[in-house]
Amino acid sequence: MKLKAFFFIILTTILISVAQIFFKLGIDDFIPNIYGIIFNYYLILGFFFYGLGSITLILSFKQDDISKIYPIIGVVYVWVLILSYYFFNENITFPKIMGVTSILTGVFLITK
């Protein structure tokens, strides 16, 4: 995999993971109407980071094959597991560790 593509796709996974954390933070105060979205800063930040992640994903597609790049999006699960542990005190269990290990093994095999 080309270094520039690798940089963009890892940045994509980080941005999308951060967006997911902001979505989770924003859902606690969510009011299901347009004002609930407009005035919920966590949701706005989530949409912002998700948008940036989409841009970096598009940039990575320009650098290498989509069949190599897109499966790396699975690394988002790894980042979210780590971030949810720190932000929400969610447990990291053995099945979650095994799942993350499977994802990382798959990503490694696809990129080789």
d(CA 33, CA 43): 13
Provide φ and ψ at 32, rounded to 5°. -75, 65
Is the model's pLDDT at 27 over the cut of 90? no
List helix spans (H) across 1-112.
Answer: 3-27, 34-38, 41-63, 66-69, 75-88, 94-111
3-state secondary structure of 14: helix
Residue 77 predicted with pLDDT over 90: yes
% of the chain with per-residue pLDDT over 70: 99
**In the predicted model, is pLDDT for residue 95 greater than 80?**
yes
State yes or no: pLDDT of 34 exceeds 80.
Answer: no
* Interval 5-31 mean pLDDT: 91
CA distances from 44 to 6, 18, 88 (A): 27, 12, 20
Q: What's the whole-number mean pLDDT along residues 17-42?
A: 85
Q: What is the mean pLDDT of residues 6-18?
A: 94
Across all residues in the chain, what is the average pLDDT? 90
The C-alpha angle with vertex 59 and arms to 78 and 50, in degrees rounded to 5, equals 50
Averaged pLDDT, 25-38: 78
pLDDT at 35 over 90: no
What pLDDT shows up at residue 49?
Answer: 98
Structure token digits, residue 40: 């919920």
More confident residue, 41 or 29: 41
Cα separation of 107 and 71, whole Å? 7
